[in-house]
A and B are shown apart, each in its own frame.
Chain A
Amino acid sequence: MGLELYLDLLSQPCRAVFIFAKKNGIPFQLRTVQLLKGQNCSKEFLQINSLQRVPVLKDGDFILTESSAILIYLSCKYQVADHWYPSDLQTRSQIQEYLGWHAYNIRSIFGVTLWVRVLAPLIGIQVPEEKVNRNRTYMDHALQQLESKFLGDKPFLVGQQVSLADLMLLEELIQPVAVGYDVFVGRPRLAAWRGRIEAFLDTELWQEAHGPIFNILEQMAKKTLPVPPPETQKNMLFRISKIP
Chain B
Amino acid sequence: MGLELYLDLLSQPCRAVYIFAKKNGIPFQLRTVELLKGQHLSDAFVQVNPLKKVPALKDGDFILTESVAILLYLTHKYKVPEHWYPQDLQTRARVDEYLAWQHTTLRRNCLRALWHKVMLPNFLGEQVSPKTLEDTVAELDVTLQLLEDKFLQNKDFIVGPHISLADLVAITELMHPMGAGCQVFQSRPKLAAWRQRIEAAVGKDLFQEAHEVILKVKNTPPADPTIKQKLMPGVLAMIQ
Contact = CB atoms under 8 A, between A and B. Distances in A.
Interface string A41-85: 000000000110000000000101111110011001100000000
Nearest to A148: B50
Interface stretch (B18-26, B60-68, B177-185): B60-68
Q: Is the interface of B mostly helix, strand, loop or mixed?
A: helix
B14 to A, nearest CB: 14
A96 B72 contact: yes
A152 B65 CA distance: 16
- How many of chain B's residues touch chain A, expressed as a range? 20 to 34
Nearest to A53: B101
Given A50-B150, A64-B90, 10 more contacts: A65-B97, A66-B96, A69-B99, A93-B70, A94-B69, A96-B68, A104-B108, A108-B104, A148-B50, A149-B51
Given A66-B96, A104-B104, A149-B50, A96 B66 contact: yes
Contact of A89 (B76, B150, B240): B76
A100 interface: yes
B146 to A, nearest CB: 7
Given A89-B73, A96-B72, A69 B64 contact: no
A224 interface: no
B89 interface: yes
A219 interface: no
Interface in A104-162: 104, 107-108, 145, 148-149
Nearest to A61: B90
Interface in B67-120: 67-70, 72-73, 76-77, 89-90, 92-94, 96-97, 99-101, 103-104, 108
Contact of A51 (B68, B104, B146): B146
A225 B33 CA distance: 51
B103 A69 contact: no
A244 B68 contact: no
Nearest to B90: A62
Contacts of A66: 96-97, 100-101
Contacts of B73: 89-90, 93, 96
B89 A69 contact: no
B97 A69 contact: yes
A187 to B, nearest CB: 18
A16 B72 CA distance: 23
